Amino acid sequence: MQKVIISQDIEKSLTEAIAACEHDKLFVLTDETTLRLCWPVIAHMPCVEGAQMITIGATDDNKTLESLTHVWEALQQGGGTRHSLMINLGGGMVTDLGGFAASTFKRGIHFINIPTTLLSMVDASVGGKTGINFGGLKNEVGVFNCSDSVILDATFLRTLDHPNILSGYAEMLKHGLISNEEHWNELLSFDLDNIDYARLTQMVATSVAVKERVVTEDPLEHGIRKALNLGHTAGHAIESLAMAQQRTVLHGYAVAWGLICELFLSVVKVGFPQQRLRQAVQFIRHHYGQFAFDCKQYDRLYQLMTHDKKNTSGIINFTLLGEVGDIRINQSATREEINDMLDFYLQG
């Protein structure tokens, strides 16, 4: 079972996490940005002395088979064995790709995630999903495999620019929507323009607890774990379209836009309150703006949705809400309803 550590002392937490994993060699995976901004936070610590560094390019554009091969080769050339340990220090791209590399090298080595972005703290690093983008599609190849531990430390939040705070916050909005009204209202009232990092850390712990409860109940996504896909069927399609057009967007922005789409579908299909939809749309439009496309892209977006991993027998499946916390998984929509959803996103 994955151990999630809300850390007040990163050196103590990391020392204990490493000691809990017997190993012959220690590797640390970063991307170019976290090597510069985040590695210095832990580089001086005795627990990582002698660690071999592996670095890949930053941003989701590098969540590729080529980067994965580079990590495998570095592990191999560094003398890695099935008893080695890898620390993934970075955002969701690093923990996803690093987790996949660790899960497959020598049929699996131990790994620890230290998420350094808000997005990876509340989403990517917890729950055991690993993988890479492939064939122009998000997270197309990967495995379920939890890290031995995840260390969440607010120190790293202060290294983030505002767009990356917002990107992670979108996943927190999702957790609030699938949780309860109190959690949702707290998220809407938080001042994202003047961040109280102590309060944000407490909210991260609440958000992670929502995901942990769901993942514990359904680790391999056969049922209720699909709740965590709220906003993602439409959001991943928008994200993949942006990638194809070389207008790459942060994952959380695409999720926020996907929430607008899927909350609209929730109103139409399962009676989600229109007032709640307006509330969410106002908040998301204010903070995340809008990704520009037109009706000529509807066919492409629809095709991208057909590749979603939740689909069965070619039917696009959505996770919808009857109310905050009232989760309705495995909801389908007609092509006309999906077009109406995209119309609402652009004009609503």
CA–CA distance, 300 with 93 (Å, rounded to integer): 25
Selecting among 110, 221, 239, 328, the annotated active-site residue is 221
| Residues 169 and 210 occupy one common structural domain | yes
Task: Give the CA diameter of the chain.
Answer: 60
Selecting among 63, 138, 171, 183, the annotated active-site residue is 171
| Residues 24 and 108 occupy one common structural domain | yes
| Residues 198 and 285 occupy one common structural domain | yes
Residue 342: CATH number of its domain: 1.20.1090.10
Using the 3D structure, point to which of 99, 132, 160 is the last residue of a domain: 160
| Residues 224 and 343 occupy one common structural domain | yes
Residue 19: CATH number of its domain: 3.40.50.1970
- Is 183 assigned a catalytic role? no
CA–CA distance, 167 with 252 (Å, rounded to integer): 4
| Residues 320 and 343 occupy one common structural domain | yes
| Residues 146 and 192 occupy one common structural domain | no
Selecting among 251, 269, 276, 328, the annotated active-site residue is 251
311: Cβ–Cβ under 8 A, 6 or more apart, which residues? 317
Using the 3D structure, point to which of 135, 160, 185 is the last residue of a domain: 160
Q: Quote the pLDDT of residue 16.
A: 98
| Residues 330 and 204 occupy one common structural domain | yes
- Is 286 assigned a catalytic role? no
- Is 175 assigned a catalytic role? no
Selecting among 229, 262, 269, 328, the annotated active-site residue is 229
* Phi, psi for residue 195 in degrees, rounded to 5: -75, 125
Selecting among 211, 269, 276, 328, the annotated active-site residue is 211
CA–CA distance, 326 with 180 (Å, rounded to integer): 9
Selecting among 232, 269, 276, 328, the annotated active-site residue is 232
Give the pTM: 0.87
CA–CA distance, 13 with 6 (Å, rounded to integer): 9
| Residues 90 and 115 occupy one common structural domain | yes
Selecting among 44, 107, 158, 286, the annotated active-site residue is 107
Tens-level pLDDT at each residue, the chain (348 residues): 689 999 989 999 999 999 999 999 999 999 999 999 999 999 999 999 999 999 999 998 999 999 999 999 999 999 999 999 999 999 999 999 999 999 999 999 999 999 999 999 998 788 889 999 999 888 999 999 999 999 999 889 988 999 999 999 999 999 999 999 999 999 999 999 999 998 998 899 999 999 989 988 998 888 999 999 999 999 999 999 999 999 989 999 999 999 999 999 999 999 999 999 999 999 999 999 999 999 999 999 999 999 887 777 778 999 999 999 999 999 999 999 999 999 999 997
Q: Comparing C-alpha atoms, which of 221, 61, 63 is closest to residue 129?
A: 221
CA–CA distance, 110 with 300 (Å, rounded to integer): 40
| Residues 111 and 168 occupy one common structural domain | no
Using the 3D structure, point to which of 101, 136, 160 is the last residue of a domain: 160
| Residues 38 and 142 occupy one common structural domain | yes
Q: Quote the pLDDT of residue 341.
A: 98
- Calculate the CA dihedral of residues 67, 70, 76, 81 and round it to 10 degrees: -20
| Residues 135 and 197 occupy one common structural domain | no
- Is 236 assigned a catalytic role? yes
- Is 44 assigned a catalytic role? no
Where are the alpha helices (H) located in 249-329, listed in sequence order? Answer: 251-270, 274-288, 298-306
CA–CA distance, 179 with 227 (Å, rounded to integer): 10
C-alpha of 265 from chain center:
23
Overall domain count for the chain: 2
- Is 337 assigned a catalytic role? no
| Residues 194 and 254 occupy one common structural domain | yes
- Is 110 assigned a catalytic role? no
- Calculate the CA dihedral of residues 291, 294, 300, 305 and round it to 10 degrees: 50
Selecting among 63, 129, 138, 226, the annotated active-site residue is 129
Q: Quote the pLDDT of residue 155.
A: 87
Cα 68 to Cα 39, 91, 93, 125, 144: the distances in Å are: 20, 16, 11, 17, 16
- Is 307 assigned a catalytic role? no
Residue 294: CB atoms within 10 A of its CB come to 8
Domain that holds residue 334: 163-347
The SS3 call for residue 158 is helix
